Amino acid sequence: MTDDLLTYENAQNYITSLVPPREAELMAMEAYAEEHGFPIIGPACGYYCYQLARMIQAKSIFELGSGYGYSTAWFAKAVKETCAEHGRSDGGGVVHHTVWDEELSARARRHLVKLGSADIVQFHVSEAVEALRQTGGTFDIIFNDIDKEAYPSSLPLIKEKLRSGGLLIIDNMLWHGRIFDKTDSSPATLGVHEFTKQITSDPDWIVSLAPMRDGMIVAYKK
């Protein structure tokens, strides 16, 4: 029966196959992640983030947890294109990259230089939520990919720092299937459950969960 073909693996492979050709540097970043088991959002989710940023013409994006810059690269691509369309060939937008680790920050900078996007990225070697707290202004998009147990406590500040009409994008909301395990009471899994409950029950948000890769919630702030 054809229903047997609608598996998670088949669906993810098909979704990924629809992503247009990518820059060689982005593909090198993907290859590194595969070789070293480093968690990145992958091409389908990366392209989805790029699409969302282009749709709302985002010019200011803050990432809570950026790794070695893979998601940053997709967001920076969108911001640069949006600024160029508005006559700002010199840039004018900003993407904030945040990690604790100086080596990861340096690696991200090298990748983004090769992609021609480092000029619009601000690099923070810091705890991500505290970096957001200390950064002035509001943002068009906030991307959240910190430790899952810290998701619930991050939401009030995110809500404060995201402009009305902005998007919150949260990764790992299927949490490798652990959310379906009723016996899993680990802090990370409980954090994902609690965050999901908080944001979907708050009338100030319009929320959907896209089940690509490990699940991404996209929430529109009214």
| Domain range list for the chain | 2-221
Closest CA to 44 of 215, 219, 178: 215
CB-based contacts of 195, cutoff 8 Å, min separation 6: 148, 151, 152, 155, 170
Could you tell me what percentage of the chain is helix, strand and coil, using 3-state DSSP and rounding each to the nearest 5?
Answer: 50, 20, 30
Other beta carbons less than 10 A from residue 97's beta carbon? 30
CA separation for the pair 82, 59 (Å, rounded): 7
Name the token pair of 208.
């959907």
Q: CA–CA distance from 157 to each of 22, 34, 129, 152, 168 (Å)?
A: 34, 33, 8, 10, 12
Specify the pLDDT at position 1: 52
Specify the pLDDT at position 6: 87
Specify the pLDDT at position 89: 57
Specify the pLDDT at position 217: 98
CA separation for the pair 9, 110 (Å, rounded): 33
Name the token pair of 92.
């004018």
CA separation for the pair 194, 43 (Å, rounded): 28
- Write the secondary structure of 79-111 as one string of H (helix), E (strand) and C (coil): HHHHHHHCCCCCCCCEEEEEECCHHHHHHHHHH
Do 68 and 29 touch, CB atoms closer than 8 A? yes
pTM, full prediction: 0.94
Kindly give the confidence (pLDDT) of every residue in the chain, 222 residues in length, as a single tens digit, with 9 standing for 90 and above.
Answer: 566 888 999 999 999 999 999 999 999 999 999 999 999 999 999 999 999 999 999 999 999 999 999 999 999 999 999 998 877 655 579 999 999 999 999 999 999 999 999 999 999 999 999 999 999 999 999 999 999 999 999 999 999 999 999 999 999 999 999 999 999 999 999 999 999 999 999 999 999 999 999 999 999 999
Hey, is 130 helix, strand or coil?
helix
Name the token pair of 25.
């540097």
For the domain made up of 2-221, the CATH class stated in words is alpha beta
The DSSP symbol for 21 reads P
